Amino acid sequence: MDQLLPLAAVVPLLVAAGISAASRFLRRRRRILDAIGIATAVAVTVMLIVIMTRAAHGDSVYWFAGFRPSRGVAIGIDFAAGPLSAGLACLAAALVSAAMIFSWRYFEQVATYYHALMLTFLAGMVGYCLTGDIFDLFVWFELMGVSAYVLTAYRPEERGPLQGALNFAITNSVGAYLILSGIALSYGRTGALNMAQIGRDMARHGPDRLVVVAFVLIISGLLIKGAIVPFHFWLADAHAVAPTPVCVLFSGVMVELGLYGIARVYWSVFGYGLGHRQTVTSVFLALGMLTAIAGALFCFRERHLKRLLAFSTISHAGMFLTGIAVLTPLGLAGAAVYVAGHALLKAALFLGTGIVLHRLGSVNETWLHGRGRHLRVTGIIFTLAALGLADLPPFATYLGKGWIESAAATRGFPWVTAVFIISSVLVGAAVLRVAGGVFYGLGDPPSESPQVAAESSEETSETQAAKQRTPLSMIAPAAVLVVAGIVVALLPDLGPVLQASAVRFQDQAAYNATVLSGAHIPHPRALFPPEDTGVKAADLASGFGSAAGALLLAFLALYWKRLPVLRRGFEPGTGLVQPIRRFQSGIVNDYVAWIVFGLACVGGALAFTIR
């Protein structure tokens, strides 16, 4: 019994309650509040590192209130921490720490609730990652969601603040209801809430329609959180209004948690219950590819920095889903390292955007063009992170992308590589274009219709007037995150360890035995054979290739007007304005209609699993 497991989720809750209870005393003592918040987040990070290393050779299982399962029936709730789940929770805690250090000087004034909400958000993410009970998963999902809705509406950085938060809350609540009804159906079949127990009972019964519908309902709720097209619309709206430190968490880890949930639910619950693996692969692969391309195109067109980064997150979410879709250990390991690398770099990019907003008072690329020349350090950090986002080796992203590509090729989908390179180039080019224009004044400012520029320059910074200096507490976390993005890729034995963890994550029988009968399984069985994780020339080529492509495209976009081009007046990406406006309308009714439509499509496709 590892007492750290409950503490990692409960300590932030307890601290959140404590600082709220003492809010009258702490209101005027801002630095004490900041220090408590940072200390708690760092402590949780350390706890999770310990949990992660202890779980390397088998999941740590913890039964709350001491109710162990009797004869294979779970009576209480358990936490089952494996290396991947604890690792993801650890990433969340690390990003919360970075965001809170950044907030030290970022907000002019901030009330008790900001810290309390960040901590309940953290607790929600940790509980969600570690739990082994599907209803418990839902409860932590809700805690995470409610905290996130409030944080989005907290001191918003744009006028019309509540719209984005409202769209976020409504779409994600629809997702929560879907998950809950899915849980109800699976309870109707098995009478169980423990994931291992449901999985075991479903395997006995064999695949049938009730199981398929339950699976579709649960994953649709998670696809909304995971920002997969056509469930993704809320994400850009929420990012546009949320405070920048909160965006770090949304893009860096909250979206990825949705996808983690899909992987967890598939391999711990429905893996045996759903027959036809090929259908599952096809559906997830189609969703992943669509999301990767659509997100990248929308990203390239965007001029609002935070929305641009949000669309790049959507594109990456599609690539992560592809890593899950191939169902092999290498694919899942690739998704894991890709998620880590992306989270660190995307967090650095958001913090860089926060510094730009702090110093220059805007996040509109057109307006900012050339105005960030004096922000040298920020410029360097932003450019490095942008190159990392374009999968330049040795950033961890290139490993993730390479592994997913070779896993997909092994399963007979070599064209995944092409799609990945296209979306990486587009996303990388968009962010590099921003870096070149804003921080180095390269090329010409993008010509934008006055209407669009007016709309997107309505920034009201919570830092009031533009500041003269960038405080160390804002620049240091961003720099550390970029360096961490490289360090992750250089960890010794990263490939073998991650792939072994992925094999363990995917071995449902071993998971069942560990949870329900306390067995220790030293060697989990892999359904698909593990593959070579060494540094391969193909990975390097693909990484350098997409980084070079992104640089080239970024320069093209910046210098387009000076080129002796075929068609004057045409700018790369401008043709997309209309479609984007049509889809990303900001009207939540549209978003819900898309969700229902997507739900019907995913359901119809996955119905083929019981052929």
In terms of CB distance, is 220 or 312 closer to another protein?
220
Q: How far is the CB of 367 from another protein (least distance, A)?
A: 25
160 binds another protein (CB under 8 A): no
**32 token code pair:** 């004490």
- The amino acid sitting at 431 is V
**162 token code pair:** 């509540």
- What distance in Å separates the CA atoms of residue 392 and residue 548, rounded to the nearest whole number? 8
- What distance in Å separates the CA atoms of residue 611 and residue 604, rounded to the nearest whole number? 12
In terms of CB distance, is 403 or 591 closer to another protein?
591
- What distance in Å separates the CA atoms of residue 345 and residue 479, rounded to the nearest whole number? 10
212 binds another protein (CB under 8 A): yes
Q: How far is the CB of 152 from another protein (least distance, A)?
A: 10
Contacts with another protein in 273-312 (CB under 8 A)?
A: none
In terms of CB distance, is 161 or 471 closer to another protein?
161
**How crowded is residue 259: how many other Cβ atoms within 10 Å of its Cβ?**
27
Q: How far is the CB of 87 from another protein (least distance, A)?
A: 22
The single-letter DSSP state of residue 534 is S
Among 329, 334, 436, 598, binds another protein (CB under 8 A): 598
In terms of CB distance, is 575 or 604 closer to another protein?
604
Q: How far is the CB of 80 from another protein (least distance, A)?
A: 13
**How crowded is residue 359: how many other Cβ atoms within 10 Å of its Cβ?**
21
- What distance in Å separates the CA atoms of residue 432 and residue 64, rounded to the nearest whole number? 49
Among 30, 54, 105, 189, binds another protein (CB under 8 A): 189
Among 202, 214, 308, 335, binds another protein (CB under 8 A): 214
- Contact (Cβ atoms closer than 8 angstroms) between residue 463 and residue 109: no
**Number of residues lying near another protein (CB under 8 A):** 86
494 binds another protein (CB under 8 A): no
596 binds another protein (CB under 8 A): yes
Among 53, 188, 447, 579, binds another protein (CB under 8 A): 188
Interstrand relation of 78-81 and 60-63 (parallel, antiparallel or unpaired): antiparallel
Among 177, 559, 570, 597, binds another protein (CB under 8 A): 597
**How crowded is residue 538: how many other Cβ atoms within 10 Å of its Cβ?**
12
Among 380, 394, 601, 608, binds another protein (CB under 8 A): 601
Q: How far is the CB of 451 from another protein (least distance, A)?
A: 19
Stretch that binds another protein, among 298-306, 504-512, 513-521, 583-591 (CB under 8 A): 583-591
270 binds another protein (CB under 8 A): no
Q: How far is the CB of 430 from another protein (least distance, A)?
A: 25
Among 30, 35, 105, 135, binds another protein (CB under 8 A): 135
Give the residue among 493, 530, 508 at the shortest CA–CA distance from 80: 508
Buried b (16+ CB within 10 A) or exposed e, 409-447: bbbebeebbebbbbbbbbbbbbbbbbbbbbbeebbebbe
Contacts with another protein in 56-85 (CB under 8 A)?
A: 62-67, 70, 73, 75-77
> Using H for helix, E for strand and C for coil, what is the string for 435-458?
HHHHHHCCCCCCCCCHHHHHHHCC
Contacts with another protein in 534-573 (CB under 8 A)?
A: none
Q: Give Cα 419 to chain centroid, integer Å.
A: 20
Stretch that binds another protein, among 14-22, 244-252, 282-290, 532-540 (CB under 8 A): 14-22
In terms of CB distance, is 10 or 565 closer to another protein?
10
In terms of CB distance, is 21 or 32 closer to another protein?
21
- Contact (Cβ atoms closer than 8 angstroms) between residue 114 and residue 62: no
- Contact (Cβ atoms closer than 8 angstroms) between residue 58 and residue 522: yes
Contacts with another protein in 102-121 (CB under 8 A)?
A: 111, 113, 116-117, 120
* Sole residue written with tokens 């109800």: 184
Which helix (H) or strand (E) segment holds residue 84: the answer is helix 83-106
Contacts with another protein in 138-157 (CB under 8 A)?
A: 139-140, 142-143, 146-147, 149-150, 153-155
